[in-house]
Structure 1
């Protein structure tokens, strides 16, 4: 039993399971908004709740495991990442390949069980999720690819409910894309010198710290704009606008914390952004009921 617990802990370390908090709220924002518009209720049923969770978790497991697998040669020389299970031997190459394949299969099967459009989109989504891991080797804009990867979450949510992609879901997704890309820019400042020394492409390594701060602020301003347009386009109510306002305040404090003391990047990255997603979801939920 202890061996099983240790192995599960290694897998959790590999995929950083706690970071699922970034995508899940926005999948369910899209699902409740779509369900309310379709059937007059925010409750879309246990079947889609379970399928939504399975699809979200398997897609994220695939993306994170593929990223760790593809980056083994990079991570083993970086002091910040040298103790990852994919590098230090806790999880072997074959086991990582098996984990990646199993999660890809689960995602595709769940998509097939949801509806035709979800199934048709499943393979392209997996290709995009895996693409982030390769972009840093030739393009400084991998941050945006990561943003697109998480930005697919609301699209997946609305497709599950109504098998279409309305304008409001695209606006919500673009906001998520800029949100994720903006905080990934701040997080990647930790590896700026390592990326420079090893010829890796990132905005911090190519354009420097000050430019990175500016671009991150610009991305987060776009986040607020597109979430405002989402609320407007979906014809949501007062509490949804409050959610956008609170998101803007949280992002402001995130930048203030990082500018003041860069050693607190983990607090800004995980804690504040985790709360942002949960609060945004809660206010949209309350608005719809």
Structure 2
């Protein structure tokens, strides 16, 4: 049990809540728009959820593996399992390769398009750790890593890509990039000292707050496009206004005191993710009635 807890700590499993609801929304949107029977797509639906878990576990473990020499120097990250010896590098490598292999295998059993794209996805997920060593666009790369799950949600069930999944992808991308910029404020001085690229390290705290706000504004606009593209009802638009207010609250909390970044990062963004799924389900049911 302790080893299992160490693994969950390593991959920060509780953060899965950020991306998984949007994958579900994307797949449910495909069922709604293409008039699919849920029972006919239940197997790829379940396989896709497993793929999301494998992909995220691979990405987080690889990031921890590549960043071990950096994390050990950072007061905030020096107690991670990949740094303090709770999980050895050999075991970490095995964990990375097993998750990558299972991701590819499960993708193969979904459809051939997902199988071919699985290799691209693994490269994209691996690029985040490398990007922050030479470009502040790493925040956008991280956003794309989460956002691509929305495109995958449609590909899994239809082998096609439409406006709704692209809009949802870009919304999640900018939403993620925005809260990652705020989160990176914690390590601004550390990143400067060790020549790591992040928006806070490159542009400073004030500019970061402005850029993060622009990212979140774009996220709301793309979410609006998503709801328009799937012909949503009033519930969706009212819900989107609530989400916009939550993101505004996140920025107000961080601007008031950066010590509250952790709360703003997890509590509010977890609520945004879950609330978005609930809004979608409520609107769908009311829309059908």
**Shared fold by TM > 0.5?**
yes
Does the residue aligned with 1:39 lie in a helix, a strand or coil? coil
Match of 2:153 in 1: 157
Pairing 1:29–2:25 present: yes
Pairing 1:198–2:194 present: yes
Q: Write the distance in 2 (CA, Å) between the matches of 1:229 and 1:154.
A: 14
Kept after mapping to 2: 8 A contact 1:257/1:268: yes
Does the residue aligned with 2:87 lie in a helix, a strand or coil? coil
- Cα deviation 1:153-196 (Å, max 9, x = unaligned): 11111111111111111011000000000000000000000001
Match of 1:18 in 2: 14
> Compared with structure 1, are the counterparts of its residues 14 and 207 closer, same or farther at alpha carbon in structure 2 (3 Å cutoff)?
same
> 1:80 pairs with 62, 76, 81, which one?
76
- Cα deviation 1:103-132 (Å, max 9, x = unaligned): 001111111111111111100011000100
> 1:176 pairs with 169, 172, 182, which one?
172
Q: CA deviation at 1:43?
A: 6.7
Kept after mapping to 1: 8 A contact 2:132/2:197: yes
Pairing 1:146–2:142 present: yes
Q: Write the distance in 1 (CA, Å) between the matches of 2:15 and 2:73.
A: 24
Q: Write the distance in 2 (CA, Å) between the matches of 1:29 and 1:172.
A: 9
Q: CA deviation at 1:37?
A: 1.4
Matched residues, number: 285
Q: CA deviation at 1:243?
A: 2.7
> Compared with structure 1, are the counterparts of its residues 254 and 42 closer, same or farther at alpha carbon in structure 2 (3 Å cutoff)?
farther
Counterpart mapping for 1:183-262 below 5 A: 183-262=179-258
Runs of 4+ in 1 over 4 A off after TM superposition: 40-45
Pairing 1:54–2:50 present: yes
Counterpart mapping for 1:63-142 below 5 A: 63-142=59-138
Q: CA deviation at 1:241?
A: 1.6
Q: Write the distance in 2 (CA, Å) between the matches of 1:84 and 1:179.
A: 26
- Cα deviation 1:119-151 (Å, max 9, x = unaligned): 111000110001001011111111110001001
- Cα deviation 1:90-115 (Å, max 9, x = unaligned): 11111111000000011111111111
Deviates more, 1:161-170 or 1:174-183: 161-170
Q: Write the distance in 2 (CA, Å) between the matches of 1:50 and 1:193.
A: 43
**Tell me, which stretches of 5 or more residues in structure 2 are unaligned?**
none
Q: Write the distance in 2 (CA, Å) between the matches of 1:257 and 1:43.
A: 44
**Tell me, which stretches of 5 or more residues in structure 1 are unaligned?**
none
Q: Write the distance in 2 (CA, Å) between the matches of 1:216 and 1:44.
A: 41
